[in-house]
Amino acid sequence: MMSRFIVADGPGFQGFFADFNTTFWSGVLRMTEAMVAAAPFLLAGLFVAGALRGMVGPERIRRLLGVGEWSGPLRAWGLGVLLPICSLGALPVARELRRAGVPSGTVLSFVLVAPVLNPVSVIYGLSHIVPATLLYFAAGTFAVSVGIGVIWNRLVSSKRDTDGGVQEAPPHSGVGRLAVAGHTAARSLVGPVFVDYALALLTVGLLGALLPHGVLQTGMTRDNFLAPVIMGLVAIPAYVTPTNVMMHFGHIVQDGYSLGAAFSLIVLGAGANVGVANWLRRDYGGKPLMLFVGLLLASTIVIGVTADRTIVHGNSDMKDHTHAFDPFTRVAGVATSDANLAWVWTQIERQMHMHEAVGAVLLALMAVAGIVLWLLRDRVGVEHLMRDPNDVPEPAPSSVWNPVLSFRQLVAAGVFSVAGLAMCGLYVFYPSAENLISDMNDIRVDAYDAVKAEDAQESQRRLAQWRNLAQKLPTSVLIRRGSVTKEEREQVDELLYGIDVLEDYAATDRFTEARAMISFVERVYSDCRREINTQRASKPFAAAAE
């Protein structure tokens, strides 16, 4: 009895040990998946770090985050919810904040909240989770991030952060500011912070190699009081993007699994990583690191257990199973013929989104530029472009078309610009439900044909494309109609479950079961399409907007 609480297993569980090919190449696959998924968010973090130095400057950063005031962690929380970055993308921003002289506790508050609550994750979360539940966990994240920041500032930062920050200001000219921003962004990929990135990705690979397939398919339910603890232990070395964590969260809530496990995944999987821990170890030593880890684990688990005992949700029990956590474990198996980089690339290619591909290419170019700048060092430095903060420029003439804006006006303009760009990006990345359904109609036919032809590789590729489009439906509906009904969420979740099962059958060459599964998938897809179209017809103004 006790074993079922300590170690969850499921129908896909294949034992704790696997052959070398499965173990090694599962680790390589999970690490590569994390690198590709992180690319656009890490790129955003690099651009933000460059802008902070080249456009904003240390003095304004200190004013913005209330250095010397008790409100620093609160302000850092407010800054974090505005930036669409992940836990890896938060590292270069954190480095620039510390360089400007921001207390480390305030920086920690930013690092813990930015990957979890930002414009992209909130919009994505609202399409998968009811607002009341999302608000509860937003409050929990606020308590964890701000609370740890306040305690750290009181116990550690006041004694260890003796440096008041660099005394410099951005260049006068626009070209000079762009040069400093670009140089800082590229150099943020190399140096000590590169070790932080590498450690974070390496632990993801180790988790994917050593955590048995199917071990988390059951047990993450409310009646398992250890579910938040188990998920916390898994989430610490894991890496989850802001959008993926909300998708996992939505599956957990909709299927009635442990909300405590969901909260552990949000804070420890998306909000923190081993790279953050290594930064704290490098700059502050072992004891402060243990303080941070202890505060983070204790507060997360306490809030998670409280959620399981106070919020009424589904009635899933230990007998039920889910595939929501399979991306953190080993794959079911890797054949000898597939044990190569070509197999890894095939798996990545079939699930990669366009924004991830573009982000990966741009990140690679940024890395090359960073390495070149690192090799050239002082010969291409930008320190000579920075000016003395006491060197006050003459005020530029103001006119209707060239107004002189105050610091607060610039901040407000920046906030609204970021929000506007985020919304435009959401409309591009999440096409209308009508267009998504039209594309799914074509892809599903190809997927069925591949299953009937017993083509495992083509079946998995087409089903992955179908899943990617289906996952976009709730967010597409939300940003165009303003709400997603419970029925729509349930129908999309049912469709995703059917696609996952069908893909599992195809991946393991169980095509007899796969062909029998087609009728179920077609039925739930028809129900999902009917529900989406029914709601669309009931809101003519929203339908016209599409």
Q: How far apart are CA 475 and CA 430, in angstroms?
A: 7
Residue type, 430: Y
Quick check: 49 and 83 in contact, CB under 8 A?
no
Q: How far apart are CA 72 and CA 69, in angstroms?
A: 6
Q: Which of 136, 493, 135 is closest to 324 using CA atoms? A: 493
Q: What is the pLDDT of residue 392?
A: 62
CA dihedral 102, 104, 105, 111 (to 10 degrees): 90
Mean pLDDT by 10 residues, the chain (546 residues): 47 70 92 93 92 88 86 92 89 92 93 88 76 85 94 88 76 84 91 88 92 76 81 87 82 76 88 88 90 93 85 59 76 86 89 87 94 87 78 62 68 73 74 87 89 88 87 87 85 90 87 91 92 70 44
Q: What is the pLDDT of residue 290?
A: 94
Q: Which of 26, 41, 16, 6 is closest to 353 using CA atoms? A: 41
Q: What is the pLDDT of residue 498?
A: 92
Quick check: 123 and 475 in contact, CB under 8 A?
yes
Q: What is the pLDDT of residue 542?
A: 45
Q: Which of 439, 440, 458 is closest to 449 using CA atoms? A: 458
Cβ atoms < 10 Å from Cβ of 441:
11
Q: Which domains does the chain have, with CATH numbers?
A: 9-380 (no CATH), 431-545 (1.20.120)
Produce one character per residue of 44-54: b if its CB has 16 or more CB atoms within 10 Å, e if not: bbbbbbbbbbb
Tokens 């070149």 -> residue: 372
Q: Give me Rg for the CA atoms of the chain.
A: 24
Share of the chain above pLDDT 70, in %: 87
| Arithmetic mean of pLDDT over the chain | 83
Alpha helices in 117-241 (DSSP H): 119-126, 131-152, 158-160, 174-187, 192-210, 227-235
Provide the token pair at 282: 């490098």
Q: What is the pLDDT of residue 485?
A: 87
Q: How far apart are CA 492 and CA 531, in angstroms?
A: 10
pTM, rounded to two decimals: 0.78
SS3 per residue for 459-518: HHHHHHHHHHHHHHHHHHHHHHHCCCCHHHHHHHHHHHHHHHHHHHHHHCCCHHHHHHHH
At 321-376, the pLDDT tens digits run 666 777 888 888 888 888 899 999 988 988 888 888 999 999 999 999 999 999 98
Q: What is the pLDDT of residue 248?
A: 80
Q: How far apart are CA 153 and CA 272, in angstroms?
A: 18
At 258-286, the pLDDT tens digits run 888 888 888 998 888 898 899 889 888 88
Q: What is the pLDDT of residue 13?
A: 59
Q: What is the pLDDT of residue 143?
A: 94
Q: How far apart are CA 267 and CA 281, in angstroms?
A: 20
